[in-house]
């Protein structure tokens, strides 16, 4: 199990980790992705494009244990803060289906009241 220490991450790493946790795993800088992968906070999967084309793309996902820790960190953020460094899920994105088929619910939506 990987342990998530949000204070050890840069602002950009927190932003990218939050984006990937909410399903936006594309268009992030390769160095940030590599740093997060080296820490075991994200996992790369190669996916072949449809129609059998000989082209593969990288897809990224947050392992379930890290996603839970990230959601708990989001929920623990002060209520008076409009935005935190890692974007938390919106109600429409609260349930995620990861590339491996697992479904993840972001507990932030249950525990953090938004005004």
DSSP 51-110: GG-S-EEEEEE--HHHHHHHHHHHHTS-TT-S--SSPPPPGGGSEEE-TTS-EEE-THHH
Q: What is the pLDDT of residue 1?
A: 57
Looking at residue 9, the DSSP 8-state letter turns out to be: S
Name the residue ranges covered by the structural domains of the chain: 6-111
Q: What's the predicted TM-score (pTM) here?
A: 0.63
pLDDT digits (tens, 9 = 90+) for 67-113: 999 888 888 877 654 444 445 555 444 555 554 454 555 544 444 43
| Residue 11 confidence (pLDDT) above 70 | yes
pLDDT above 90 for 115: no
Neighbours of 65 (CB within 10 A): 13
What local confidence, expressed as pLDDT, does residue 112 receive? 41
């Amino acid at each position: 199990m990987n342990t998530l220490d949000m204070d050890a991450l840069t602002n950009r790493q927190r932003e990218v980790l939050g984006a990937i946790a909410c399903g936006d795993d594309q268009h992030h800088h390769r160095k940030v992705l590599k740093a997060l992968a080296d820490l075991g906070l994200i996992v790369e999967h190669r996916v072949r494009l449809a129609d059998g084309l000989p082209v593969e793309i990288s897809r990224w996902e947050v392992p379930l244990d890290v996603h839970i820790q990230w959601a708990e960190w989001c929920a623990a953020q002060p209520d008076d803060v409009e935005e935190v460094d890692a974007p938390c899920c919106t109600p429409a994105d609260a349930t995620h289906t990861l590339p491996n088929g697992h479904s993840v619910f972001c507990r932030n939506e249950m525990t953090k009241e938004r005004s």
